[in-house]
Structure 1
Amino acid sequence: MGSTFGGLNILSRSLYANQASLETVGHNIANAGTDGYSRQRVNLATASPSGEVYGLNKNYSGSGVTVASIIRARDRFTDEQLWKESSSLSYSQTSSAALTKMEGVFTEPSETGIQTVLNRFWTSWQTLSTNASDSGARTAVAQQGVALVNAIKHAAEQLRDTAANINTEVVATVNKINQISESINKLNEQIYFTEFSGTNNANDLRDSRDLLVDELSKLVDVSVKEDSTGRYTIQTSGLTLVDAKGYCNKLSTETTAKNTPPDNLSYDVTKVVFVNNGNVMNFADGKGELKALLDSRDSSTKGIKGYMTSLENVSQFLLQDFNDVHRKGYGTNNESGRNFFGDGTDGGSPAKDKDYKTVGMPTGSSWIDELTVNSAITGSTAGLAIIAAKTTFSLVSAVTPDADNTGSATVTATGTGTYVPTDPMNPATPIDPATPTTVRVTVDDLGVIKYSASTNGVDWSTPITTISPITVNIQGMDVTIAVNSTANPTSPTEDTYEFTLSKGNNNASGDNAILLGNCLKTDTSSSTLGNVSLDSYYSAMIGTLGVQSQDAQRLGTNQKTVVDQLINLRASTSGVNMDEEMTDMIRFQKGYNASARVLTAMDEMLDKLINGTGIVGR
């Protein structure tokens, strides 16, 4: 038989086991709403039996129950799946939020969007083409041009502000990653020392560590490995953030100033680098909030960089291709070679409007920064005359009758090319286009026609052997002069006609305004826009943005469904179920009470044995 007091030991173990179980139930109930908490349970095991020898037989008697361990309910496979899918969900949600912000920048379709402003600008040119001399139509063209410039610059500035906000978020995210990594590293050591003896489980510490990994997986892609000591090694994109040996490696940020080669972006760019080697981090595609932030800023297809490039292309088109058509036309002042967009000059003397198609973008600047309506147009009412609505200049001819008034002459002037007369004695020297050119036609008594031209008082003559009419080309002006004379061989008198040719103010034609309107809507010759019209280019850009935003939202919705399923699956294993805990509480309470009752009965037996035995006969 066992020891007289052996039963007390069995019951004391039973009381302790039920008490420990009840305390664990209470711990579960208390942490039912705690993030990251895993339900714990007490593993009970039969205590090693004791044996006694009676005669030739060795009998074993039970020694009660013992608490083998207190463990947490956790499925590591589900955790790893959840960390992977949470990283993808965070990427989708962050990308969707960034694309939504960019949609807000362009506000399409709306009455205030760039597309509407472009349409109004085009309409103003169409109106001008029907009444090219109307000052009101010219004012509308100038103001709609200003509205277009403001709309493009405002959109670009908002994109720059968004990029600046992303830079700030990148820095904050990197700091958060470093903090989480340090905390995980500290928990690694605490868990190691707690479980070093092999008899304890650091359940709550492990829950805290896994919760930190949950947070880290939302920021970057993570790979988690646990060694035999219970420590985690955590890597992202092949680089170790937390080492099981107790090392914690950090990330840092570096900012590249705007307009810095080779990208020459018009906004600052904050990059993530690995402190150990200074290399720029390349995170896994489609994983984590940090990668989404970087892609939303740096991607050439769906990021701020891509849409800023599109606005740059639109601005370059206006400064180069649109200006090129405008420069070939003439304003009401019969001047050509003037820009509608841009204030740059060629630096010559006298200075002329810069030909952006020839010189390109200024160093250290951008097409968007350079984009403006020519201040010569908007600076005064007289500047409206610069707007080139026609493709040809007008000439005014003043006829001086011949000496004997026996003949007559007419002039038909059609301007071709650029009206820039040159000094006939020095053709390389330009002469002020405003200087009138005088043509003198002489018909002698033999019917031989000669003409001479004078500009700035310099004369030159060229004999003409053809009977009228004649065509005189004066540095780009084809002037047809019809001469009718009654030649009298017996008279020495020559018939002489003088025509003063100068630029006129007749601007009835609006053919260049039509070309400028076509440049906005239908012209597909620009390589800057990929050989599509400006209207189509911008519409395609906005359509692409809308599709990208919808796709990001769709991916986010689908990914959230996957993550929610994994969360529910983990909760089914690790979550605290109040009904189960109440059932366990009653079970362990009953066990505790029953043990106490047995202990009371055994105490009465021992009391009888000790106090009631041996008193007979006294």
Structure 2
Amino acid sequence: MAGTFSSFGSALSGLRYSQTAMDVASLNLANVDSKGYTRQRVEASASTSAANAAMYARGNSYGDGVGVDGVSRAVDLLLNSRARTEHATQQFLDIQADVLKRVEAGVSEPGKTGLNSALDGFRKSWGDLVNAPDQSAARSQVIAAANTLSEALRSQARMLQGEDTDARLRVLDNVDKVNTIAGEMASLNEKIQIASFDGTANNTLLDRRDQLMLELSQLGGAESTIQSNGTVQVNLGGLTLVSGNTAATLSVSAGIGADGSGTGAPIAFELSLGGTSLGNPAIGTGTLGGLVRSVDVTIAGMRDELDTIATTFADTVNGRHTGGFDQDGVAGEAMFSYTAGNAAATITVSLTDPRKVAASSVGGGVLNTDNANWLGNNKTVEGAYQSWVATLGSSVSAATRLSTNQKALTNQVDGAIEQLGGVSIDEEMVNLVSAQRIYEAAARVITTLDSVLDTLINRTGVTR
């Protein structure tokens, strides 16, 4: 369409476009601090008056203004996928680093309250007994030092047990979070599909969808695939967690009791749908992956090594002590007792009577101190314990370094996403002013056209 009246349509399209642009700019500014919000932008294109190209007919129109094609999000789906992968790895490494740091703090080495100090005190008490074998106080000090040593072992075992229980409870808590988010994702898929069918704006739904995808990746390394209709399919450990408006249920199938206690088996998971098992997902990253590795590998390995140290120490001391003789010349009894397979947590001192401390290597009540001297110089487990502590320190250093390096990579990806989809107040203010000027210019075109038509209609042909 050509002519003066057609220009009203072009100007009107400019007004409508500028109104949409101002609405979008104000929406971006209002959500500048909203978590998960992605900057939106107006997609526009020039309108053409010719619906179809003609070979011979030639129109005299130069277009019908501007058309709003829609409002899109400033998002890169591949970059978001990379971010989910990096965040899953970050959570996996952070969990392990945090657990190891707490264990290192609980070990208290080097320090006066650590096991190494208790071992030194135990040996020193035997050395004091060598100098005063007839003194009850010296014998009582040996028993007291033995109690201090056994308590130090039990304390470290309790610390490791506390970390183990805490990690198991966190596994249960995070499994509940996965199920809650999966259910919301399934509901969101349905809403997105409906919005796609009826043409309703769904950018807010898509933002929430992306945020849930990231949270599931952080929790268990879930992999998400966006479908053509905007919905998403989520796989967890190689099995389908969410498909369309259906969500499976994740549960712990082995390794953790309802109260968070260990069952002696490695932690395993199960996905089920409508009471039917879908299989056991292999979750090896994210928060759940980090907790499982901390329980089944890190803490379990440290507890086994500590139990070996406690067992070796108790058996060595008991073997020597039962081969000696107490103050009355009677064969010595076992000084320590423990439960096999859980030595560090159950080790206790069996002796209570100072006279039963077997310091002598010969019977008959002779004040011989060969046995006490041997026990005072015995360092059977010191090397193993120092190696245990050194390995812990190296593990903490390595885990912290890996976590720090991964953090730099994760921040780089997050920065790229923020640069693309984050809201800049300055930029939106410029967009807002630009849209305002477009509106004013389009309105001015209408005013000018009105003046032209007024002259043509009301003044042309008027005689005086």
Global fold match (TM > 0.5)? yes
Which residue does the alignment assign to 1:247?
246
Q: Does 1:582 align with 2:429?
A: yes
Aligned-partner Cα distance in 2 for 1:9–1:296? 68
Q: Deviations over 1:470-500 (max 9, x none)?
A: xxxxxxxxxxxxxxxxxxxxxxxxxxxxxxx
Distance in 2 between residues matched to 1:279 and 1:132, nearest whole Å: 67
SS in 1 for 2:72: strand
- The corresponding residue for 1:436 is none
Q: State the 1:306 CA deviation.
A: 1.7
Q: CA deviation at 1:72?
A: 0.8
| Alpha-carbon distance change, 194 to 279 in structure 1, aligned in 2, over 3 angstroms | closer
Q: Which residue of 1 aligns with 2:100?
A: 99
- Counterparts of 1:370 and 1:57, CA distance in 2: 99
Paired residues for 1:425-440 under 5 Å: none
Letter in 2 for 1:313: T
**What corresponds to 1:39 in structure 2?**
39
* Whole-angstrom distance in 2 between the partners of 1:141 and 1:60: 111
Contact conserved, 2:322 with 2:333, CA < 8 A, in 1?
Answer: yes
Query: For residues 348-367 of structure 1, what are the structure 2 equivalents within 5 Å?
Result: 361=339, 366-367=342-343
Once the 2 structures are TM-superposed, how far is the Cα of residue 200 of structure 1 from its aligned partner? 5.4
* 1:179-258 mapped onto 2 (5 Å cutoff): 179-197=180-198, 202-243=202-243, 245-254=244-253
Q: Which residue of 1 aligns with 2:27?
A: 27
Cα distance in 1 for residues equivalent to 2:347 and 2:57: 107
Partner residue, 1:390:
360
> 8 Å contact 1:69–1:200 — kept in the other structure?
no
State the TM-score, normalized to the length of structure 1.
0.69
Q: Is the 8 A contact 1:18 1:591 kept in 2?
A: yes
* 1:125-204 alignment, distance < 5 Å: 125-197=126-198, 202-204=202-204
Q: Give the letter aligned to residue 290 of structure 1.
A: L
For residues 2 and 257 of structure 1, the distance between their equivalents in structure 2, rounded to whole angstroms, comes to 77
Give yes or no for contact 2:94–2:403 (8 Å, CA) kept in 1. yes
One-letter code aligned to 1:506:
V
Displacement of 1:127: 2.2
Match of 2:313 in 1: 318
Aligned equivalent of 1:371, options 347, 355, 365: 347
Q: Is the 8 A contact 1:226 1:232 kept in 2?
A: yes
- Asked whether the equivalents of residues 337 and 349 of structure 2 are also in contact (C-alpha less than 8 Å), the reply is yes
Q: Deviations over 1:117-143 (max 9, x none)?
A: 111101112222343333222111110
The corresponding residue for 2:418 is 571
Q: Separation in 1 of the partners of 2:322 and 2:437?
A: 99
SS in 2 for 1:233: strand
Considering fraction of residues, name the structure with more helix. 2
Matched letter for residue 295 of structure 1 = R
Aligned partner (choices 262, 279, 299) of residue 304 of structure 1: 299
Q: How many residues align?
A: 453
**Which amino acid is the alignment partner of residue 362 of structure 2?**
T
> What's the counterpart of residue 369 of structure 2?
510
Paired with 1:333 and 1:44, the residues of 2 have a C-alpha distance of 103
* Aligned partner letter, 1:603: D
Contact between 1:95 and 1:292, CA under 8 Å: does it hold in 2?
yes
The 1:71–1:516 alpha-carbon spacing in structure 2 relative to 1, beyond 3 Å, is same
Q: Is the contact made by 1:167 and 1:269 (CA closer than 8 Å) also made in structure 2?
A: no
Aligned partner of 2:88 in structure 1 is 87
Q: Which amino acid aligns with 1:564?
A: N
Q: Which runs of 5+ in 2 are unaligned?
A: none
Secondary structure in structure 1 of the residue aligned to 2:110 = coil
**Separation in 2 of the partners of 1:294 and 1:157?**
19
Alignment counterpart, residue 294 of structure 1, candidates 276, 292, 295: 292
Distance verdict in 2 for CA 1:257–1:321, change over 3 Å: farther
Name the Cα RMSD after superposition.
2.5
- Specify the SS of the correspondent of 2:45: strand
Whether the aligned pair in 1 keeps the contact of 2:329 and 2:363 (CA below 8 Å) is yes
In the alignment, the residues of structure 2 paired with residue 616 and residue 288 of structure 1 have an alpha-carbon distance, to the nearest angstrom, of: 87
1:334–1:168 CA distance, 2 compared to 1 (3 A): same
Residues in 1 aligned to 2:454 and 2:125: alpha-carbon distance in whole angstroms: 113
Matches within 5 A, 1:253-272: 253-254=252-253, 265=264, 271-272=268-269
Where in structure 2 are the equivalents of 1:439-518 lying within 5 Å?
A: 505-507=365-367, 509-518=368-377
Shift of 1:280: 5.0
Amino acid at match of 1:557: T
Distance 1:189 1:310, change over 3 A: same
Match of 1:592 among 434, 439, 442: 439
Deviation at 1:252, TM superposition (A): 1.4
Larger relative strand fraction = 1
SS at match of 2:59: strand
| 8 Å CA contact retained: 2:225, 2:233 | yes
Aligned partner letter, 1:171? L
Q: 1:281: Cα distance to partner?
A: 4.3
Structure 2 residue aligned with 1:17 = 17
One-letter amino acid matched to 1:511: D
- State the Cα distance separating 1:370 from its structure 2 match: 4.3
Shift in alpha-carbon separation, 1:320–1:586, aligned structure 2, 3 A: same
SS at match of 1:96: helix
Where structure 1 has 5 or more consecutive residues not aligned to the other structure, the ranges are 344-360, 395-504, 522-532
Alignment correspondent of 1:540: 387
Q: What is the CA deviation profile of residues 74-93 of structure 1, one whole-angstrom value per residue up to 9, with x for unaligned ones? A: 11221111111111111121
Q: Equivalent residue for 1:283?
A: 283
Q: 1:606–1:128: structure 2 CA closer, same or farther, 3 Å change rule?
A: same
**SS of the residue aligned with 1:240?**
strand
One-letter amino acid of the counterpart of residue 358, structure 2? A
Q: Which has the higher contact order (CA 8 A, sep 6+)?
A: 2
SS class of match (1:139): helix
Contact 2:326-2:358 within 8 A present in 1 as well: yes
Paired residues of 1:11 and 1:598 also in contact (CA < 8 A): yes
Residue 575 of structure 1 deviates from its aligned partner by 1.3
Query: 1:5 is paired with a residue of what secondary structure?
Result: helix
Deviation at 1:564, TM superposition (A): 0.9
Q: Does 1:333 align with 2:328?
A: yes
